[in-house]
Amino acid sequence: MRRVTIVVTVIIIAASIAVGVYFLSTQGGSQLDKSIGLPVTTSDMVSLQKVSDQPYGPTPSSAMQADVYQYDGSQFVTNGKPTIVFIGAEFCPYCAVERWAIITALNRFGNFSSLHYTTSANDEGDYASFTFVNSSYRSNYISFRPFEDEDRSGNALQTVPSNYSTVWGDFGNGFPFLDFGNTYVIKVSLLAFPDILTGQNWTAILNDISTSDATGLQIRQAANLITSVICKVTGETPAAVCTAPPIKTVTSAISGPTQGSLTFTGDVDQAPVQVPAWPLIHRRNG
C-alpha cells in the first residue's frame, strides 16, 4: 500500500508539473513575459542611448534602401517640425524587431522617456521589445507620433487619427508602418527575420547591438536607414548626425526632394495614391 501511495504521489506531481509547463508555455508564462508592462529601467535607457551613439556602423543593404518609397503628400508637421509616424501592434513580431531600430535611430535626434517593456504575442515568437503606449519623446528636430493599433492579443488598442490612417490605408494597413513627414514611407519591416531575437532578453539584444554581432549589425543597418530618411526630411540637420558616415552617403542616395527643398504645410488628410504591391504586410489575421 505504501508503494502504491508513493507511485500515485509521483504521478500526481509529474502531472502537475506537465500541466504547469503547458500553462506557462501557452498563457504567457516565459521569463520575458514577467517584464511586460514594466517601465524600462534606467540602466536599459542608458544602454539604448549608448548603442545609438557614433560610430554608427554599417551601410544599410541595397535591399533595405529599396524599401524606402517617396510619397507625394502634404507634409505632416507638429510644432514646426516634420512628424515621424509609426503604426504597429504589440503582438506583431516584425514590429518587435523594428522598434529596436526605430529607438536606436530616434535617440540620435532626441530622447525617449516612459518606455515600457513588451514582447510580441506568445504565438508570434514572444520576442523582447518595447511598446510605445504611454511613451514620451522630445526632439528639437522632429516630432514622433507612435500608435500601437492592437495589443498582444490582437485587440484594438490605440486609434490612429484619420490624417495618418488615410496614408496608412493607401499602403495596405500593414504592420509595421513608418511615415516620414508624409514625404517618405517604409511600409514593411526593414528586418525580414524577427527570429534573430529568438531566446534573447533585452540585455542580450542590447549587447548584440553594442558588439555588432550578426543580430546587432542588422539592427544597426535598419537604424542607419531610418536615420538617413529622417535626415532627408530635416534638411540634413543636425549636422553631427546627418554628416556622419554612413548617414550622409545614404541620405544622398535616397530619391526625392533635395536638401532644404521641403516646406512643411501642416497635418492634412491625403488623397489616395497608387502604390506597388509589397510583401511582408503583417496583420494578426493574414
Neighbours of 83 (CB within 10 A): 22
Task: Produce one character per residue of 124-151: b if its CB has 16 or more CB atoms within 10 Å, e if not.
Answer: bbbbbbbbbbebebebebbbbbbbbbbb
| C-alpha span between 186 and 65 (Å, rounded) | 10
Model pTM score: 0.81
| C-alpha span between 118 and 129 (Å, rounded) | 5
Asked if residue 275 belongs to a domain, the reply is no
Asked if residue 197 belongs to a domain, the reply is yes
Asked if residue 152 belongs to a domain, the reply is yes
| C-alpha span between 221 and 191 (Å, rounded) | 9
Q: Which stretches does DSSP call E strand in the chain? A: 69-70, 77-78, 81-88, 110-113, 116-119, 128-131, 136-139, 143-148, 177-180, 184-186
Neighbours of 32 (CB within 10 A): 21
Q: Quick check: 281 and 188 in contact, CB under 8 A?
A: yes
Asked if residue 16 belongs to a domain, the reply is no
pLDDT of residue 29: 52
Asked if residue 3 belongs to a domain, the reply is no
Domain range for 158 is 29-253
Asked if residue 210 belongs to a domain, the reply is yes
**For each of the chain's 286 residues, which pLDDT tens digit applies?**
555 455 444 444 444 434 333 333 334 457 899 999 999 999 999 999 999 999 999 999 999 999 999 998 888 999 999 999 999 999 999 999 999 999 999 999 999 989 999 999 999 999 999 999 999 999 999 999 999 999 999 999 999 999 999 999 999 999 999 999 999 999 999 999 999 999 999 999 999 999 989 999 999 999 999 999 999 999 999 999 999 999 999 999 997 433 233 333 333 322 222 333 333 445 554 3
Asked if residue 2 belongs to a domain, the reply is no
Q: How many domains does the chain have?
A: 1
CB-based burial of residue 29 (10 Å sphere; 0-12 exposed, 13-18 middle, 19+ buried)? middle
Asked if residue 276 belongs to a domain, the reply is no
> How far apart, in Å, are the Cα atoms of 196 and each of 61, 94, 128, 151, 274?
17, 11, 11, 22, 33
